Structure 1
Amino acid sequence: MLQTVVEWLWWDRLWLPGNLSWSDLEDKEDCVYAKASQLYGVLPCALCLLLVRYLFERCLATPLANAWGIEDSVHLTAEQNPVLEKYFCSQTRNPSQADLRSLCKKTGWPERKVDVWFRRRRNQERPGLRKRFCEASWRSVFYLFAFFGGILALYDKPWLYNLKEVWAKYPKQSLLASQYWYYILEMGFYFSLLLSLTFDVKRKDFKEQVIHHIATLTLLSFSWISNYIRVGTLVMAVHDSSDSLLEGAKVFNYAKWHRTANVMFVVFVVLFMVTRLVIFPFWLIHCTWVYPVEFYPPFFGYYFFNIMLLVLQILHVYWAILISRMLFKLIFSKLEGDDRSDEEEDDTDTTQEKSHKMDHRNGSGPRGRANGH
């Protein structure tokens, strides 16, 4: 049964146009083709990138954060309470109003105090500013190098300037060394992001990020096996072109270089809208949807590849909405941090705030304690 499944999975008609088989893509003296077995290199590449990221954040990003005076916010520690701690760890971090009233009865605390406890406890779980700075720094540097690497791999290729060249002599298109390394590094990076999701900063679009990484890896894997490599490199270059600016804007925003961050963010918005909402759907998807049928009849891989591109385009529209909200905040209010991040909550008790304000008015109260609040 396993052999039958493998044979069906590698059935020629799933991956290649009609009248072609895997035997037609065997290496020759003047032509070397991509092979599925080469994708095993993605895992060690992802592990190496995780190690490089660790060294980068420890040896470069952290000293830079120290030089720029980036410090984590001082959180008020939640008071020890076994009942609330058990509920927080085993039930939910955001209890409903009815749950708050039930917990008040169990603890003997007023509802306001229980609510403040949960806010303080949630703040203790949130990543600090330095962690977000290091993460954004790593992504910004990688996307920057990936984009320029893509330009070096594509600038002298005819299919960059004439999209119909993407399908010339398809699928008998020889694999280039630059394409191999571009693919392996990009797939290794996205795989490393999947591996690090559990300890990275969790954002509001966490589920969309998971879908994006899986869709990207699936798309790149399929394009590699089906020899859709030319269009695959174009898709990667389009995505890398704007991502570095967004992460760079976050880096400068965390460092309180707000003017620089705002300029970078505006440039990012323009580039994102042009590449993801214009070039990607109207040039690249058009290239994969319209041009191939001029060379061969549609097959399963043709439909599968285009459906995956449409999934990415739906995510682009979703992120364009989030980015538009951020731009609105930038224009009409003050933009602080990443709109997708799980923001810190006010964890001060109203009664405590009033007492501290009275202390300041009366000239009492230690300065350090006031700053802590």
Structure 2
Amino acid sequence: MDPTRIYELYQNTSSWFWNCQFWLGESICWEDIQQTSEFQYPGFYDPAFYPILIAAFLILLYKYILVPHTFSYIAKSCGMKKSKLPIPNPTLENIYLSTKRAPSQNDILEYSTKIGWNERQVERWLRQRKRFDVGGKYQKFIDAEFEVFFHAVMTVYGCHTMIDKPWLYNISLCWNDWPHHNVDTDVWWFYMIGMAFYWAMMFIQVPQPGRKDKIQMIIHHSLTIILMTVSWITNFTRMGTLILLVHEGVDILLQTGKMIRYAKGNPFFTDIVYGTFIVLWLILRVGIFPFWIMKSVYYEGNSMFKQTSFVFFQALLVLLMILNLMWTFIILKVGIQKLLGEEIKDIRSDDEDTDDAQITDKKNE
């Protein structure tokens, strides 16, 4: 293709995407919010570069420093053990790799006949092979450690960043004099690291085999990245910092509770942590988020903004609230099960014994 034609196509696409009326409304253009040495507006291209770079750093930090030199020692000291590969068996290995579903009893009988093992040996080999792939509770414990570490750092940094911000105490200031809101250095880092974390999770957690909640994670992480990007480009960063802060700290308790349960810790401490988590979740994500943040967006924001990007911003908040309500249902369901004395399972992720149960069920049919 002719280079001139490619350049024209790029220019036309860029002009269409960066349409001022869509992003900023009729009375404001991009030239009105250009950065100066005295006043820092959001850099339009920052979300396309810096979060990816920081995410790469987080992934390297996770894989080559935190896991081998810190998280693995904590996991082992809490009684976590890595899953081991079963004894090599090329026939069963090929069957395992080519079959995604749990084997039926007839399948197991066929496999045992083929390799000269009894059915119990085949079942045990398949369970051990599956557990090695998924990582078992050891990998879940490692993942929970990383989330506790990151959310703790971000919660402390977020509180430090927001403690002197006037819009934390008067949410109407999120809209006053928009879009002429200076983006302080601490807010810039809070945003970029927040986006980077969800990019990193897309590459750390989502590819893991055996997760039941992959679709939910992809939707949540993608939605969060898009929401933060839109609020950054349009300089709704004040509201964005409040949303990010409200959604940070509660995950520390959730992941801490998981770690205690994986390590078979004292059930009393698990109950205390989960109980506190449920209370904070309801306060922050079912209380403050819809009735303080979303209320301001829909009541105060609607009277000021008519551009399409603001409607898109509102729609993203609604989708995030729907996810919060879905998880609230799951959390309350688990809480009720606990009160009724039923066995509690982590229904937001895969249970390493799922396939074991499936094999046993098929055997008993």
Q: Could you say which residue in structure 2 is the equivalent of 1:267?
A: 276
Q: Within 2, Cα distance between the matches of 1:105 and 1:71?
A: 32
Q: Could you say which residue in structure 1 is the equivalent of 2:13?
A: 5
Q: Could you say which residue in structure 1 is the equivalent of 2:59?
A: 50
Give the partner amino acid of 2:299. Answer: V
The runs of at least 4 consecutive aligned structure 1 residues that moved more than 6 Å come to 109-117
Matched residue SS, 1:290: helix
Once the two structures are TM-superposed, the CA of residue 328 in structure 1 deviates from its matched residue by: 2.3
Structure 1 window deviating more from structure 2 (254-263 vs 308-317): it is: 254-263
Q: Within 1, Cα distance between the matches of 2:318 and 2:84?
A: 44
Aligned 8 A contact 1:42 1:185 in 2: yes
Structure 1 window deviating more from structure 2 (285-294 vs 137-146): it is: 285-294
Aligned 8 A contact 2:133 2:209 in 1: no
Give the partner amino acid of 2:322. Answer: I
Output aligned runs, 1:185-224, within 5 Å: 185-200=193-208, 202-224=210-232
Q: Could you say which residue in structure 2 is the equivalent of 1:365?
A: none
What TM-score, normalized by structure 2, do the two folds share?
Answer: 0.84
Aligned 8 A contact 1:32 1:175 in 2: yes
Q: Could you say which residue in structure 2 is the equivalent of 1:242?
A: 250
Aligned 8 A contact 1:329 1:335 in 2: yes
Q: Within 2, Cα distance between the matches of 1:16 and 1:128?
A: 49
Q: Could you say which residue in structure 1 is the equivalent of 2:6?
A: none
Matched residue SS, 2:240: helix
Is 1:60 the counterpart of 2:55 in the alignment?
no
1:235-258 deviation per Cα after TM superposition (whole angstroms, max 9, x unaligned): 110100201111111122223223
Q: Within 1, Cα distance between the matches of 2:66 and 2:343?
A: 27
Once the two structures are TM-superposed, the CA of residue 78 in structure 1 deviates from its matched residue by: 8.3
Give the partner amino acid of 1:59. Answer: H
Q: Could you say which residue in structure 1 is the equivalent of 2:303?
A: 294
**Which among 166, 181, 184 is matched to residue 189 of structure 2?**
181
Radius of gyration: which is bigger?
1
Give the partner amino acid of 2:341. Answer: S
Structure 1 window deviating more from structure 2 (212-221 vs 111-120): it is: 111-120
Q: Could you say which residue in structure 2 is the equivalent of 1:169?
A: 177
Aligned 8 A contact 1:253 1:336 in 2: no
- The 1:132/1:107 distance shift into structure 2, 3 A limit, reads closer
Matched residue SS, 2:346: coil
Q: Within 1, Cα distance between the matches of 2:106 and 2:78?
A: 45
Aligned 8 A contact 1:250 1:337 in 2: no
- The 1:161/1:57 distance shift into structure 2, 3 A limit, reads same
- The 1:201/1:141 distance shift into structure 2, 3 A limit, reads farther
Structure 1 window deviating more from structure 2 (46-55 vs 165-174): it is: 46-55
Aligned 8 A contact 1:166 1:230 in 2: yes
Q: Within 2, Cα distance between the matches of 1:132 and 1:115?
A: 23
What TM-score, normalized by structure 1, do the two folds share?
Answer: 0.83
- The 1:154/1:201 distance shift into structure 2, 3 A limit, reads farther
5+ residue gaps in structure 2? 1-8, 361-365
Matched residue SS, 2:302: helix
5+ residue gaps in structure 1? 351-373
- The 1:248/1:256 distance shift into structure 2, 3 A limit, reads same
Q: Within 2, Cα distance between the matches of 1:260 and 1:44?
A: 38
Identity of aligned residues (%): 27
- The 1:29/1:102 distance shift into structure 2, 3 A limit, reads closer
Give the partner amino acid of 1:69. Answer: G
Once the two structures are TM-superposed, the CA of residue 232 in structure 1 deviates from its matched residue by: 0.5
- The 1:106/1:41 distance shift into structure 2, 3 A limit, reads closer
Aligned 8 A contact 1:254 1:337 in 2: no
Aligned 8 A contact 2:285 2:324 in 1: yes
1:124-181 deviation per Cα after TM superposition (whole angstroms, max 9, x unaligned): 4321222211111111011011111111111122211121111010111111111101
- The 1:81/1:47 distance shift into structure 2, 3 A limit, reads closer
**Which among 330, 334, 341 is matched to residue 322 of structure 1?**
330
Once the two structures are TM-superposed, the CA of residue 117 in structure 1 deviates from its matched residue by: 6.5
Q: Within 1, Cα distance between the matches of 2:97 and 2:84?
A: 22
The alignment yields a C-alpha RMSD, in angstroms, of 2.8
Q: Could you say which residue in structure 1 is the equivalent of 2:80?
A: 70
1:248-295 deviation per Cα after TM superposition (whole angstroms, max 9, x unaligned): 111222232232222111101111112111211121112212212333
Is 1:280 the counterpart of 2:289 in the alignment?
yes
Q: Within 2, Cα distance between the matches of 1:24 and 1:121?
A: 60
Give the partner amino acid of 1:289. Answer: Y
Aligned 8 A contact 1:120 1:347 in 2: no
Q: Within 2, Cα distance between the matches of 1:151 and 1:279?
A: 16
Q: Within 1, Cα distance between the matches of 2:262 and 2:100?
A: 30
Q: Within 1, Cα distance between the matches of 2:264 and 2:337?
A: 17
